[in-house]
Structure 1
Amino acid sequence: MSHAITVRLSSGRAYCSGVLIAPDLSAGEAPTEYILSCAHFLRERSGPIRVGGAFFHAHVRGAVRLPRTDIAVLRMDRPSPPRPLLRLATHPAPWFAPARTEGFGQSWHQRQLRPGRVLGRTPVALGRNLRTLVTSAAILHNHPRAVKGDSGGPVIVGEQIVAVQSMITDPFGVNTGLATVAQVAPHRRAILAAVEALEQAY
């Protein structure tokens, strides 16, 4: 079911993943104009960002990057068709909980499902380039492994979105299967504020 809410964001030849969310962050069958994704994809994008991969197409009309974490909220220029939107978690990802990550890594056209498990949580994580900061992070192990292009895709525990994919651990180019994800529960208030800001701006 959740495949219908995972989208692809693209700008030129670069792309990442994202997930459709309700403006009040609740669950239910509904159209929406809002996407949750990773902030680092937006950092160097100056051209238009297209939305695809969930059986409809749109463009991003505005975005808000949350400070001190790798989460962004984006608003599309048209609503999606009704979709089975998932609730954003109100509690941190449980230790050792089975999880699944969805994204477009390694495939422009086909969403990939990557089962995994939450190995733990950490207050802060910093990317290898020292530019991507994730506060309230969680560490996952996925098999198949998460890859570039999965960034921004939803991490789902039960039927709740607990995080978005942020960084993979690949020392010397070797993908270990470990991934750092940006949890949503500690940032719910900021996410709601971002939705409100986008509603007022557009």
Structure 2
Amino acid sequence: MSSSITIRLKSGRSYCSGVLISPDLDAAADARTDLVLSCAHFLRERTGPISASGAFFPARVLGAVRIPRTDLAVLRLDTPSPPKDLLRVSTSPAPWLAPTVTEGFGGNLRRPAQRLGRVVARSPIAMGRNLRTFVTSAAILYNNPKAIKGDSGGPVIVNGEIVAVQSMVTDPLGVNTGIATVAQVAPHRRAIAAAVAALQQAY
């Protein structure tokens, strides 16, 4: 597990997190990549061009594809990363009670923080308060430290694989409960692969 594959995406005053992935979605040692997995809701909220930082190379986003019916997106950068140890995009759902590590730049950190957690539930559908962020095949985590704004799009890692990306926090009346909703990748892996292929063909 390496925080050097977790990146910060920024557009105007908005930012989120993301994770570098290989074109075939499998693990790859000492590999360069220009592909990022992140959250779709950031693309809806952005106010201009998107830049990437935080993994020891600067880049700009050439294009992005949102995965239908969930809070996942794939982005392509204009500059490949330096060699990285990339993690596999999992083909299995997050196991019940599995320990998790979520990485993200929440709180305007210069380096990603790790939020330790555990899978406490799974849900076929989850929706944000604004009724615009929508996740199918969600997992529910309890994190300590708590996931916060800006961690969205960061990888959720179980047993050395990316099982989800951070999507939403549960904060009734502004109180962060430590409960987070994450968008699982396994049910959408075929769509993620199709998004990669579309980006590679377009740019």
Answer whether TM exceeds 0.5 for this pair.
yes
Aligned residues: 202
8 Å CA contact 2:14–2:45 kept in 1: the answer is no
| Partner in structure 1 of residue 145 of structure 2 | 144
1:7 aligned to 2:7?
yes
TM-score (ref. length: structure 2)? 0.98
CA-based RMSD: 0.7
| Partner in structure 2 of residue 161 of structure 1 | 162
- CA offset digits 1:51-101 (Å, max 9, x no partner): 000111100000000110000000000100110000011010000000010
| Partner in structure 1 of residue 103 of structure 2 | 102
- Alignment partner of 1:43: what SS? helix
Structure 1: gaps spanning 5 or more residues? none
Amino acid at match of 2:8: R
Q: Take 1:170 and 1:2, find their aligned partners in 2: how far apart are those partners?
A: 29
Query: In the TM superposition, what is the alpha-carbon distance from 1:46 to its structure 2 partner?
Result: 4.4
Q: Take 1:175 and 1:98, find their aligned partners in 2: how far apart are those partners?
A: 20
Amino acid at match of 1:16: C
| Partner in structure 1 of residue 190 of structure 2 | 189
Structure 2: gaps spanning 5 or more residues? none
Which stretches of structure 1, 4 residues or longer, exceed 6 Å deviation after superposition?
Answer: none
- CA offset digits 1:109-134 (Å, max 9, x no partner): 12100000000110000110000000
TM-score (ref. length: structure 1)? 0.98
Query: In the TM superposition, what is the alpha-carbon distance from 1:45 to its structure 2 partner?
Result: 2.1
| Partner in structure 1 of residue 39 of structure 2 | 38
Q: Take 1:45 and 1:197, find their aligned partners in 2: how far apart are those partners?
A: 21
Q: Take 1:35 and 1:82, find their aligned partners in 2: how far apart are those partners?
A: 14
Q: Take 2:13 and 2:109, find their aligned partners in 1: how far apart are those partners?
A: 10
Query: In the TM superposition, what is the alpha-carbon distance from 1:44 to its structure 2 partner?
Result: 2.8
Query: In the TM superposition, what is the alpha-carbon distance from 1:107 to its structure 2 partner?
Result: 2.9
Q: Take 1:65 and 1:172, find their aligned partners in 2: how far apart are those partners?
A: 30
Amino acid at match of 2:28: G
1:127 aligned to 2:146?
no
1:25 aligned to 2:25?
yes
